[in-house]
Amino acid sequence: MDPVELRPPDHYRLHAEICRVLTEPKRLMLLDALRAGPASVGALADAIGISLPNASQHLAVLRVAGLVEGRRAGTSIAYQLLEPAIVEACRIIDGIVEHRLARGQRSGPADHSDTPGARDAGAVPSRQPVSTTQPEVPRG
């Protein structure tokens, strides 16, 4: 195997921070809704079926993470994608999700107990508890 040149640690730290922001389904829904173009908080809240304060909180997290920006439009603020490439990243994950749903797998890691050697080694798929805390978002 050829040696792989790793990126600097700060690159992986930032990557992980962005991924943590994307662990909330409502934030993914907001990003998806913003694919159509800029929208107000009220329009986004209505589009994904959440309260205005809840939408504002999630948009603030996305803004601090540098994924969206708000621009004043008259008396309201229109949010838009600051990093449109995030839509492509989400589309790749969506493909994986669709594939798993088609196989009937709802969540968690795939059960590879039928993989050669897995049973022999006594491997049992582990389930990690799901955290319900909000991800830490970098400030500054």
Domains of the chain: 9-102 (1.10.10.10)
Radius of gyration in angstroms for the set of CA atoms belonging to the chain, rounded to a whole number: 19
Angle, CA of 100, 22 and 87, to the nearest 5°:
75
pLDDT in tens, 41-96: 999 999 999 999 999 999 999 999 999 999 998 888 999 999 989 999 999 999 99
* Percentage above 90 pLDDT, the chain: 69
Per-residue pLDDT at 36: 94
Strand partners, 78: 40, 71
Classified as helix, coil or strand, 107 is: coil
pTM of the complete model? 0.70
For the chain, give the mean pLDDT. Answer: 82
Burial (0-12, 13-18, 19+ Cβ within 10 Å), 8: exposed
What is the spatial distance between Cα 31 and Cα 85, in angstroms, rounded to a whole number?
Answer: 11
Average pLDDT over residues 107-133: 42
What is the spatial distance between Cα 119 and Cα 115, in angstroms, rounded to a whole number?
Answer: 7
Please name the residue that has the structure tokens 């969506």: 94
Angle, CA of 36, 64 and 38, to the nearest 5°:
20
Assess contact for 94 and 100: CB atoms under 8 A.
Answer: no
